[in-house]
Structure formats: C-alpha cells, structure tokens
C-alpha cells in the first residue's frame, strides 16, 4: 500500500509541475504578445500622426503589420525581430517573426520599425501565409530618430520605416523573410 501511495504522490507532483510549467509558459506568451501589440500600436500611431498620406492609405487598407527590427552590419549584415499582422476588421491578429541577411559594405547597427499597409485581403493573406519580401538597396541612417515614407500603394503594399537611435551606413543586397510565429499563435 505504501508503494502505491508513493507512486500516486509522485504522479501528482509530476502533474502539478506540468500544470504550473504550462501556466508559466502561457503567461510568457501573453506577455510577449502584449509587448508586440504595444510596440505595433505605438508605431502605427506614430506613422499615422506624422504622415497624412499614411492616414489616407490606412483608411483604405484591408490590414496592417508592424515589425520591430535590429540589423547589424560588419561587412555582412544580419538581423531579426518580431511583429504582428492585423486585419483592420478585427478578424485576425497573426504574430510573426522576421530575419534579414545580406552581403556588401556595411558597418554599424540600426533598430527600426517597419509598418506595412495592405490594400486588399489578398495582399494581406499572401504576406501572412507566404511572408517573403526580398530587397536590395543602399541606405544611410543616423541621429536619434527618422522616418521614411511611401505615398501610395505599390503592388497592394505601402511600407513606412522608422528608425530609433542608431547608425547604419550600408550598401548591400539582402533578403528579408517574414513568417508566422508558431509559438505565439499557438500552432505548435
């Protein structure tokens, strides 16, 4: 009888620890989602306040996405971040990750947010489901704050980039991949 009592006690402890661990993991996910939502809402609000054209496009858009990124370049460049894609009607909120890499001339680091406005549901769905955006370019950024802005939809997409305190001088060919964050979307 003592043996069975010990086994049942051990099983009860294992179940208790499992439940506590699951609750802690859920709390961490909720906290991460909340932080991403706050960053995204603030970044979107800033873009809409600073750009009348962005406000006009937002009013016409099906949805939007915001990513918080950090890019570092020392000959080669790489970076990553996280964000959320949101259907304006409230029907969908998809948490995503992004990664970027490239080769070229570069030295420095830059933290920035990218705000996407999607003209149609098809544009939004393609981004969320396929999530790929390749790019090439040259840029120089510095100071404590900055913003660059598109004034119209191009192929159903408008992009606004804001940088925080940082310095980046680069000419590179890079690719950026956006994909769903399975953990934060509870898809695991």
Locate the domains of the chain by residue range.
Answer: 44-180
**Which tokens belong to 176?**
């950026």
SS3 of 83-110: the string is EEEEECCCCCEEEEEEEEEEEEEEEEEE
Nearest to 66 by CA among 92, 91, 36: 36
Residue 76 forms beta bridges with which residues?
A: 74, 103
Residue 141 has pLDDT above 80, yes or no: no
Q: How confident is the model at residue 136 (pLDDT cuts 50, 70, 90)?
A: very low
Confidence class for position 11, pLDDT limits 50, 70, 90: very low
In this prediction, residues 2-22 reach a mean pLDDT of 43
Q: What average pLDDT does the structure give for the chain?
A: 77
pLDDT digits (tens, 9 = 90+) for 161-176: 887 643 333 444 467 8
pLDDT at 33: 96
pTM, two decimal places: 0.74
pLDDT band at 135 (very low <50, low <70, confident <90, very high): low
Task: Assign 1 a pLDDT band (cuts: 50, 70, 90).
Answer: low
Q: How confident is the model at residue 3 (pLDDT cuts 50, 70, 90)?
A: low
């Amino acid at each position: 009888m003592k043996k069975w009592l010990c086994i049942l006690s051990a099983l009860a402890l294992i179940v208790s620890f499992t439940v506590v661990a699951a609750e802690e993991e859920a709390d961490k996910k909720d906290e991460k989602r909340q932080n991403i939502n706050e960053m995204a809402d603030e970044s979107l609000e800033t873009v809409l306040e600073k750009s009348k054209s962005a406000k006009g496009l937002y009013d016409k858009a099906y949805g939007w996405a915001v990513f918080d990124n950090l890019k570092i370049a020392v000959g080669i460049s790489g970076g990553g971040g996280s964000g959320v894609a949101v259907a304006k009607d409230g029907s969908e909120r998809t948490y995503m990750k992004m990664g970027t890499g490239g080769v070229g001339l570069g030295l420095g680091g830059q933290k920035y947010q990218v705000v996407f406005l999607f003209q149609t549901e098809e544009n939004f769905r393609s981004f969320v489901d396929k999530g790929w955006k390749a790019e090439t370019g040259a840029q120089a950024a510095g100071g404590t704050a900055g913003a660059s802005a598109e004034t119209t939809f191009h192929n159903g997409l408008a992009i606004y980039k804001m940088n925080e305190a940082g310095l980046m001088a680069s000419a590179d060919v890079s690719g950026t991949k956006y994909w769903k964050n399975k953990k934060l979307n509870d898809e695991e």
